[in-house]
Amino acid sequence: MLKLKSVKTFVIASAVSLAAATGALAFPDKSIEYIIPFGPGGESDISARFQQPFFKDKFGQDLVVSYKPGGGGAVGWAQLNSMTADGYTIMGVNLPHIVIQPAQKDVGYTTDDITTFYMFHYTPDAIVVTADSPYQSLDDLIADAKANPGSVTMSGSGKATANHLAQIRFDKMADIKTTYVPFKGTGASTTANLGKQVKAQWGYTTVGAAQGDAVRMLAVAMEERHPLFPDVPTFKELGFDMVGGAYRGMAAPKDTPAEMIKALSDAFGAINADEAFRKQMLDGGFALLDVDSAGMADFMKARKDEYIQAATEAGLLN
């Protein structure tokens, strides 16, 4: 506790000096409404809850989390640009959702409508099997899938989602055919895997963190191994160029003044820089990411190309 406090004081001090240096002392002078376009309890909600106390500590104002679920997030994103654009209303954004949804059908917004100002973490894709699964390594799974095309069933959260795109990309890279079974959310997909309704799961490192010894991850889609799982290889080590997962960040209505966007980006950057916050996120199995408002355009373009290509090849976009 003591340690945490000293970290906090340090961070507050540095934040204050930062604010003084940029002359933006006035921001934020009231609470910020943080809308999650999903229901409570999911990864988007949980990671926003992680940010909540740190925001209050650093900036003295509340980050008020509210929910606007519907249409897999589409209902919220379609309304974002009609909300008050004063920098005090922000919304969580998710990738690949905001790329795939408008590419599939008219959902009331386009990818470029969303002014994302910070991407703060991602949940890296991972193949998860139960502790007593016959698949000891990724090779075992590939061998089984090669011997019995289509019979390796893998659960995942939803269709045309990060899990689904990962399955499509990996099948192509490994030249195998697996069967993807979409479930309603990661919780249901994990339940199906633990209950042996499927042979493996396309999940995230967060599943490994939550399930502990009950599961084994065969590989994770990160540049380097996740600090929480030093024994789990990356896909890259095993010869598959797969890095990614579900990315989460925050966006503001498009008419929000540029200096407000900058201030918001800096504020959430400061939270991401907090060691206590980083530790909490890593312990939960998340992987941190720092894409600020300046670097957003390049980041989005790269993701967009990648997703559209995978989805087109899989025939998800017609």
List contacts with other proteins (CB under 8 A).
39-42, 45-46, 49-50, 52-53, 65-72, 74-75, 78, 104-108, 150-153, 158-161, 179-184, 187-188, 190-192, 194-198, 210-212, 214, 280, 283-284
The least CB distance from residue 98 to other proteins, in Å, is 14
Nearer to other proteins by Cβ, of 283 and 290: the residue is: 283
Nearer to other proteins by Cβ, of 198 and 263: the residue is: 198
Give the amino acid at 88. Answer: Y
CA–CA distances in Å: residue 134 to residues 108, 129, 141, 235, 310: 45, 9, 9, 19, 29
Residue (of 170, 211, 207) closest to 186 by Cα position? 207
Taking the alpha carbons at both ends of the chain, their separation in whole angstroms is 54
Does residue 226 contact residue 180 with C-beta atoms inside 8 Å? no
The least CB distance from residue 184 to other proteins, in Å, is 5
Peptide bond into 28 cis (omega under 30): yes
Beta strands in the chain (DSSP E): 32-36, 63-67, 89-95, 115-130, 153-157, 179-183, 200-204, 215-220, 245-252, 287-291
The least CB distance from residue 302 to other proteins, in Å, is 23
The least CB distance from residue 251 to other proteins, in Å, is 17
For residue 109, the SS3 value is coil
The least CB distance from residue 161 to other proteins, in Å, is 8
Nearer to other proteins by Cβ, of 176 and 198: the residue is: 198
Nearer to other proteins by Cβ, of 144 and 238: the residue is: 144
